Amino acid sequence: MSQIYEFIDLERLRLDHYNPRLPTSLHEKSEDIVINWMLTDASLVELMLAIGNNGFFPGEPLLIIKEDDDYIVVEGNRRLASLKLLQDPSIAETQKKKVKTVAEETTEKPTKIPCIIFNERSEVNKYLGYRHITGIKEWDLLSKARYLKTLSDDITSEEPKKMKSTLAKAIGSKPDYVNRLLIAYDLFLEIEKNSFFQIRSLNEETIHFNYLLDSLRRTNIRDFIGVDIKSNHPIEELTNNTDKKNNFKQLIHWFFDTAGRIKVAIRGDSESLTKLDAILADKIATQYLFRSEDLEESYEKLNKTYDSFNHNLSLAKKNITAALNQLPSIKEQHSIDIETASEIRETAQMIVLKLQAITPDQCEG
The residue extents of the domains of the chain are 3-119, 142-281, 297-363
Do 64 and 73 form a contact (C-beta atoms < 8 A)?
Answer: yes
- The CATH label, of 2.60.120.10, 3.40.190.10, 3.90.1530.10, 3.90.1150.10, for the domain at 3-119 is 3.90.1530.10
- Reading the chain (365 residues) residue by residue, the pLDDT tens digits are 568 889 999 999 999 988 877 888 888 889 999 999 999 876 899 899 999 998 998 888 999 999 888 999 998 999 999 999 999 999 999 899 999 999 999 999 999 999 999 988 877 876 665 555 555 456 788 888 888 887 787 676 678 788 888 777 766 678 898 899 999 999 999 999 999 999 988 888 889 999 999 999 999 999 999 999 999 999 999 999 999 999 999 999 999 987 654 455 588 888 899 999 999 998 888 999 998 888 888 888 877 766 667 767 888 888 899 889 988 888 888 888 888 899 899 999 999 998 888 765 444 44
Start-to-end C-alpha separation, the chain = 49
In terms of phi and psi (left: phi > 0; alpha: psi -120 to 50; beta: otherwise), the region of 295 is: alpha
pTM: 0.60
pLDDT at 365 (0 to 100):
41
Instruction: Give exposure, 6-29, as e/b (b: 16+ Cβ within 10 Å).
Output: eebebeebbbbbebbbbeeebeee
pLDDT of residue 163: 84
55: alpha, beta or left? (left if phi > 0; alpha if psi -120 to 50)? left
Which letter, b or e, does each residue of 110-132 get, where b requires 16 or more Cβ atoms within 10 Å of its Cβ? Answer: beebbbbbbeebebbbebbbeeb
Q: How many CB atoms lie within 10 A of CB 166?
A: 16
* Residue 340 CB-half CA count within 13 A: 7
Q: What is the dihedral of CA 272, 273, 274, 280, to 10 degrees?
A: 110
Distance of CA 4 to the CA centre of its chain: 36
| Closest to 188 measured CA to CA, from 178, 198, 203, 167 | 203
CA distance 325 to 308: 26
Q: Please name the helix (run of DSSP H) or strand (run of DSSP E) that holds residue 74, with its range, or none.
A: strand 70-75
